Amino acid sequence: MTKQQLIEQIQLKKSFLCVGLDVDINKIPKHLLDTEDPIFEFNKQIIDATHHLAVAYKPNTAFYECYGLEGWKSLEKTIAYINEKHPEIFTIADAKRGDIGNTSTMYAKAFFENLNFDSVTVAPYMGSDSVEPFLAFKDKFTIMLALTSNKGGLDFQAQQVTEDEKLYQNVLKQSLTWDNNEQLMYVVGATKAEYLKGIREIVPNHFLLVPGVGAQGGNLQDVCKYGLNKDCGLLINSSRGIIYASNGEDFAQVAQEKAQELQSEMEVILNNMQ
């Protein structure tokens, strides 16, 4: 998927919603446990119920890897289902990979070629040669951690590296010097909305993946106030607030209702941009 195709989907659906498929088998409805692949069946029903309201899905790979080979098979089936049934959806492997040289290339092949995700999240701590191998893949996007929403996110990210520059700002500026940096997106937590204005001054045209709206306390209006650009430029992720809104047999319908609530807010925001 190209950036322009993603923008067109946002305009078409009046949505910039990303649904996080972080599936904990202990939290899914009990009646699914009798199916052949409970994790995939859960994902399939969530996707069927929300695909017209979302422009992206983001499975966090840890929730699949923890179940070994069977979990990885569930992930493979999930991404294959999205790609076959809803190829207009932007897919994100939330894997937070990042290593030097050939190792990063192999990680990139795993997610871009083997599983055929549109994008993957990476950690930039090891610098340019840990991220550029991902950026070498045409029409694939690398979503780099910039300013995260977790409690310890500021431990390192907000450290002063110069008198007027924090580490995360330095990382953003450095990334713009890397090969194929137009294929970068950035993770910025919704609970850090007050930082978005400054981030937009550094990366005005790149997409930002924003987790933390809903269960983590992030506010959609604040994120949009500071984070929107002319193309929208935001993917707002909601996981628990949608997929675990109900643990009964009506879970997919309730997930659809929660996704609809967010999409409706987004539609108003996008209409106000025009």
The answer to whether the beta carbons of residues 243 and 198 sit under 8 Å apart is no
Q: Give, in degrees to the nearest 5, the angle at Cα 48 between 272 and 21.
A: 80
Q: Is 96 a catalytic residue?
A: yes
Q: Which of 96, 151, 197, 258 is catalytic?
A: 96
Closest CA to 121 of 200, 235, 243: 235
b/e map 107-120, b = 16+ CB within 10 Å:
bbebbbeebebbbb
93: region left, alpha or beta (phi > 0 left; psi from -120 to 50 alpha): beta
Three-class SS state of 163: coil
Its sign, for the CA torsion 175, 54, 90, 108, is: positive
Kindly list the catalytic residues.
Answer: 96
